[in-house]
Amino acid sequence: MEKKGKILIVDDAVDTVELLRKRLRFEGYDTAEAHDGEEGLKLVAEYDPDLIILDVMMPKLDGYEVCRRLKSDENTKYIPILMLTVKGDVADKVKGLDMGADHYLAKPFDYKELSARVRSLVATKAAREKLVEEERLEALEQMMEEVAHELRNPLTSIGGFARRVYDKLSESDPSKKYMKMIINDVARLENMVKKLIELKTVALSYRQPTNINDVIMEAVKSFEPDFEDKGVEVKTELLNNPPLISIDREHMKMALANLIANSIEAMQNKPKILKITSHISDGRMQIQVSDTGKGIPKDKIKNIFDPFLSSKIDGPGLGLTFTLKIVQEHRGTISVESEPGEWTTFNITLPLKRR
């Protein structure tokens, strides 16, 4: 079952924690549990929940203080908090809401009501994150236009003049090696501008019914020299006779190639195993690209697709931004899971062709 979200339960009542843990996991949520306020704050940083169910009366730190600290921290202020307490007075509810709580339920609570609140709060957080992502992509497109416009002509002039000077210098002239460095750096910047222009044109796609396995194998085949040179073992587990899905073949191959390139770069030590699978889950096509590489630190994983926070032009820079945009243009989603020092798995979900 695909997880609906991550919920952190913070309550010193063991029976309440156990009840919520069992019921929420049965509904498809992932959960983590803490039994006092200090432990709860520590787990928030480690677990990165989509929702916190927070008791008020707890040892060490009460729920009000935990809520106040979370809502005053830029990294956690947008995590929704559902407060639980045996207190039912209006003054207590007002205090919790003033601290930033998103909702308040008194114990004993009706689980159906709690479940409905959980769904609503998790959905609200997901909607906000989607809006933020759309705003980032809009800012990215604006940045691409500005950078490409400002850099293209000056780079052409610099590169052209540098090559003319380079050709006139004798091989013994010590300045020649410096001109060569200028030419190479200009070429790198020109490649960046080209990438930015390509990224802007990803939305212009030609879709047709396609066997996704064929696209996967084409992407894999293009890296065969790299696999052999770097000792990478490739494993594929592809769905037999998959239904055709409507995609832009070349764009999707580019997206998969970016993930494969990212995996090859990440695998520095043996065993070097790249595994690619395709299957259908919940009525959608699932493609997974996994590697036994260095993994992604937990504090970096949320920004892995963000070009503004990457120092690289290729690989895990604009390459992953390309992949995200291509998948989104196909009405799909992409997620990543990783264990630092062990492995990374990218999961692409695409809609099946409508009847």
State whether 195 and 315 are in the same domain. no
Task: Give yes or no: residues 233 and 180 share one domain.
Answer: no
The answer to whether the predicted template modeling score (pTM) of the entire model surpasses 0.95 is: no
What CATH code is carried by the domain that includes residue 237?
3.30.565.10
Q: Kindly report which listed range (16-30, 138-152, 156-170, 173-187) carries the lowest average pLDDT score.
A: 138-152
- Among residues 155, 174, 202, the one where a domain terminates is 202
Is the domain of 32 the same as that of 137?
Answer: no
Averaged pLDDT score across all residues of the chain: 85
Q: Could you give the number of structural domains in the chain? A: 3
In this structure, the answer to whether residues 179 and 104 fall within a common structural domain is no
Residue 308's pLDDT is what? 54
Q: Under a CB-based contact definition with an 8 Å cutoff, are residues 155 and 193 in contact?
A: yes
Name the one residue in this structure whose structure tokens are 């520590």. 42
Question: Would 128 be classed as within a structural domain?
Answer: no
40: domain CATH number?
3.40.50.2300
**For 59-68, 175-184, 186-195, which range has the lowest pLDDT when averaged over its residues?**
186-195
Tell whether 312 and 251 lie within a shared domain. Answer: yes
User: What confidence category does residue 202 fall into, taking pLDDT thresholds of 50, 70 and 90?
Assistant: low
Residue 320 placed within a domain: yes
Identify whether residues 45 and 91 lie together within a single domain.
yes
In this structure, the answer to whether residues 185 and 218 fall within a common structural domain is no
Domain with 99, as residue range(s), is 6-109
Same domain, 316 and 337: yes
Please indicate, yes or no, whether residues 180 and 255 belong to a single structural domain of this protein. Answer: no
- Residue-level pLDDT at 114: 92
- What pLDDT score was predicted for residue 246? 92
Residue 126 lies in a domain: no
Confidence of residue 220 (pLDDT cuts 50, 70, 90): very high
**Same-domain status, 285 and 331:** yes
Residues 338 and 276 both lie in one domain: yes
User: pLDDT (tens digit, 9 = 90+) per residue, 159-175?
Assistant: 889 899 989 888 889 88
What is the per-residue burial (b if ≥16 Cβ within 10 Å, else e) of 42-77?
ebbeebbbbbbbbbbebeebbbbbbbbbbbeeeebe
Lowest mean pLDDT among 258-262, 288-292, 304-308: 304-308
Same domain, 196 and 273: no
Residue at 191 is within a domain:
yes
Residue 207 one-letter amino acid: R
Distance CA 240, CA 238 (A): 6
Give the pLDDT mean for 285-291. 95
pLDDT, tens only, 302-349: 778 776 555 443 433 567 888 888 898 888 999 999 988 899 999 999
Give the end of a domain, one of 151, 171, 202.
202
